[in-house]
Amino acid sequence: MKRQDDARLPPSPAVDVGVRHDVVARARETALSARTGESVFPWFGPSVRFGIGATDEVGWEAKALGMSRVLVVTDVNVRASGAVDAVLASLTAASIDADVWDGCESEPTDDSVRRAVAQLRHVVVDGYIAVGGGSVIDTCKLVNLLTVASGELFDYLAPPHGAGRPVPGRLAPMIALPTTAGTGSECTAMAIVDLLQSHAKGAVSHWSMRPALAVIDPLNTLSCPAPVTASAGYDAVIQAIESLTSRPFDERPAARRPSDRPVYVGHNPISAMWCEAAVRHAGRFLVRAVTEPLDVRARHGMAFAALCSRIGNAGVHVPHANGYAVAAAAHTHRPEGFQVARTFVPHGQSVAVTAAAAFDVTYPAASDRYDLVAEFLGIDAVRRAEAPHTAVGDWVRSLLAATDGPRSLEAFGLTRGDIPSMVEVALSQERVLVCAPTIVGHDLLVDVLERSFVAQT
């Protein structure tokens, strides 16, 4: 029966389906045969709840994910801040049973992860809730994996530090509530650990590792000490800049199978939109969040910057590769303002200390995108025109000066004699160096590290 609406529609024009099919087929064939490299980029948007008071909704979200008994994973400092109490209250209101484990360590190591797994292997839960910074969230991811999967941590670490075994199947659902604004681990498909014997950083990277939900409440960052706020913020803004200046996805070889594409696929239009927002917000709010810790607007701005930096992160490169090398070399450093007993270099500081020099050196390979970054940061147009090749690097130098950050590798007790070992470690970070806008070899890394011994002003 003919619908009344159909009577008002104009008649369809006659189409020569055969001719159109031939034309379309030729156009498709031409486009496909013209490909010389990668032509597809994936983007798997995480599930996020963002805003003031979002912590109060954790119980509802956990129940929606099918959780009935959960393990809240945190550390002693976060537990003392009150953030865990707010999570537990929300879970109780939703009739969800919860146990708390507060044994996470800052900058988790392979040893600390093994201890965590040994303690928690027999805990029976149907979900995890991580409350803390990137160290807590990464530890929770690895506990979730290693308490159910066969094998050890080494089996799942990416080469050259491990066997690179794929994560088997789905893990238990996990909700992550960050208490810092920086790493964005609540949105990532990877976990990073310090490898004590090899003095290197290792990563387990697989889409199954990403939390089912990120609940980002800027109020949870209010208790962050200034050095922690600064270090986390460095990571957020620098990883966004690295992503914006990373090697474009279509300059890579085509993946043989969709599963072959790495988590870091390279610069692409979707990631660029998010990372632009991250850079703009960090440029406006990072110093304020450090110097005015109770400024909720600044905390909100940096929480959003960190979120965007991770949602859009298509690849980090030289600063992060060097960051792992710095952390490995400076194994006697005790950071001020971090309530941690052992020696270590905070991740954001290790990344930031060579970032300015790295951006200076790689500027020629991605000058147009570095120029955009300078604009996003709010750098004066006259300054950008006078010295475009150092504009972004100089902004990083000013940031470190304004937030009492590390302005030279000497801040970590390192000397130029450490450069050969740092270069070796940085070169091993193949998964990130492949994202650099230029080919990264021994000489480039030496140049960046040499420049980073000069005090940044």
* DSSP character string of 112-175: HHHHHHHHHTT---SEEEEEESHHHHHHHHHHHHHTTSSS-HHHHSPTTSS--PPP-S----EE
Q: Are residues 197 and 300 in the same domain?
A: no
Range of the domain at 158: 48-221
Of the three residues 194, 221, 248, the one that is the final residue of a domain is: 221
Of the three residues 168, 194, 221, the one that is the final residue of a domain is: 221
Q: Are residues 303 and 403 in the same domain?
A: yes
Whole-Å CA distances, 286 to 100, 169, 231, 408: 32, 39, 10, 20
Confidence of residue 1 (pLDDT cuts 50, 70, 90): very low
223 contacts: CB under 8 Å, gap ≥ 6: 81, 82, 83, 179
Question: Residue 2 pLDDT more than 60?
Answer: no
State residue 418's pLDDT score: 97
Distance CA 395, CA 398 (A): 5
Q: Backbone dihedral region of 336: left (phi > 0), alpha (psi from -120 to 50 degrees) or beta? A: beta
Closest C-alpha among 410, 411, 379, 372 to residue 394 = 379
Residues 413, 179, 167, 427, Cα dihedral to 10°: -20
Question: Residue 9 pLDDT more than 70?
Answer: no
Question: What's the mean per-residue pLDDT of the chain?
Answer: 92
Q: Are residues 283 and 338 in the same domain?
A: yes
Residue 371's φ and ψ, nearest 5 degrees, are -65, -40
Distance CA 63, CA 98 (A): 12
Write the CATH number for 289: 1.20.1090.10
Residues of the chain with pLDDT > 70, as a percent, come to 95
CA 267 to chain centre: 15
Overall number of domains in the chain: 2
State mean pLDDT over 148-159: 90
Give 239-249 pLDDT, tens digit per residue.
Answer: 999 999 999 99
Write the CATH number for 54: 3.40.50.1970
Question: Residue 128 pLDDT more than 60?
Answer: yes
Confidence of residue 450 (pLDDT cuts 50, 70, 90): very high
Confidence of residue 10 (pLDDT cuts 50, 70, 90): low
Distance CA 450, CA 333 (A): 20
Confidence of residue 360 (pLDDT cuts 50, 70, 90): very high
Confidence of residue 170 (pLDDT cuts 50, 70, 90): confident
Q: Per-residue b/e over 264-294, b at no fewer than 16 CB within 10 Å?
A: bbbbbeebbebbbbbbbbbbbbbbebbeebe
The residue among 294 and 194 whose pLDDT is bigger is 294
Return the SS3 of 215.
Answer: strand
Give 253-296 pLDDT, tens digit per residue.
Answer: 898 888 888 878 999 999 999 999 999 999 999 999 999 999 99
Give 390-441 pLDDT, tens digit per residue.
Answer: 999 999 999 999 999 999 999 999 999 999 999 999 998 888 999 999 999 9
Confidence of residue 80 (pLDDT cuts 50, 70, 90): very high
Tokens read off for 81: 């801040």
Q: Choose the weakest-confidence range: 117-126, 239-248, 333-342.
A: 333-342
Query: What is the reported pTM?
Result: 0.88
Q: Are residues 379 and 300 in the same domain?
A: yes
Residues of the chain with pLDDT > 90, as a percent, come to 71
State residue 340's pLDDT score: 75
The beta-strand segments (E) located in 41-134 are: 48-50, 69-73, 97-101, 127-132
Closest C-alpha among 261, 253, 297, 306 to residue 279 = 306
Tokens read off for 43: 């983007």
Q: Are residues 264 and 304 in the same domain?
A: yes
